Amino acid sequence: MSSVLSGNRNFEGRVHPLTKANYLASPPLCVIYALAGTVDLDINKDPIAHDKSGNPVFMKDLWPSNEEVQSFVKQHIQKEMFLENYKNISQSNERWNALPVSNTVTYPWNKDCTYIHQPPFFQDMKVGLTPIKNIQNAFCLLNLGNSITTDHISPAGKIALKSPASKFLQAKGVKPIDFNSYGSRRGNDEVMARGTFANTRLINKMVPKTGPTTIHVPSGEERPIFDVANEYLINGQETIVLAGKEYGSGSSRDWAAKGPYLLGIRGVIAESFERIHRSNLVGMGILPMEFLQGETADSLGLTGME
CB proximity list for 222: less than 8 A, separation 6 or greater: 207, 213, 214, 215, 216
The verdict on residue 77 lying in a domain is yes
Q: What span, in angstroms and rounded, lies between the C-alpha atoms of 202 and 12?
A: 9
One domain, residues 29 and 159: no
Domain range enclosing 29: 1-99
Is the pLDDT at 252 greater than 90? The verdict is: no
- 93-124 confidence digits (pLDDT tens): 889 989 888 888 888 888 899 999 999 988 88
Last residue of a domain, one of 99, 126, 151: 99
117 or 88: which carries more pLDDT confidence? 117
What CATH number is attached to the domain comprising 270?
3.20.19.10
Q: What angle do CA 254, 165, 195 make, to 5 degrees?
A: 30
Mean of the per-residue pLDDT values of the chain: 93
One domain, residues 162 and 222: yes
- 35-80 confidence digits (pLDDT tens): 999 999 999 999 999 999 999 999 999 999 999 999 999 999 999 9
pLDDT of residue 102: 84
One domain, residues 43 and 150: no
The verdict on residue 165 lying in a domain is yes
The verdict on residue 104 lying in a domain is no
Q: What angle do CA 248, 249, 254 make, to 5 degrees?
A: 55
Is the pLDDT at 12 greater than 80? The verdict is: no
3-state per-residue secondary structure call for 260-299: HHHCCEEEEEECCECHHHHHHHHHCCCEEEECCCCCCCCC
The verdict on residue 213 lying in a domain is yes
pLDDT of residue 13: 66
Number of domains in the chain: 2
3-state helix, strand, coil in the chain (%, to 5): 30, 15, 55
One domain, residues 14 and 86: yes
Question: Is-contact 169 159, C-beta < 8 A?
Answer: yes
One domain, residues 143 and 269: yes
Question: Is-contact 194 163, C-beta < 8 A?
Answer: yes
The verdict on residue 166 lying in a domain is yes
Question: Is-contact 58 36, C-beta < 8 A?
Answer: no
Please compute Rg for the chain using Cα positions: 24
Q: What angle do CA 148, 150, 151 make, to 5 degrees?
A: 95
State the DSSP string of 81-142: HHHHHHTTHHHH-HHHHTS-----SS----TT-SS----STTTT--SSPPPP----SPEEEE
Q: To 10 degrees, what angle do helices 275-283 and 255-262 make?
A: 40
One domain, residues 155 and 273: yes
3-state secondary structure of 242: strand
Question: Is-contact 263 227, C-beta < 8 A?
Answer: no
One domain, residues 145 and 21: no
Q: Which residue, 237, 291, 295, 252, is CA-closest to 268?
A: 291
One domain, residues 145 and 92: no
Q: Which residue, 268, 14, 278, is CA-closest to 144?
A: 268
- Least confident among 20-24, 192-196, 263-267: 20-24
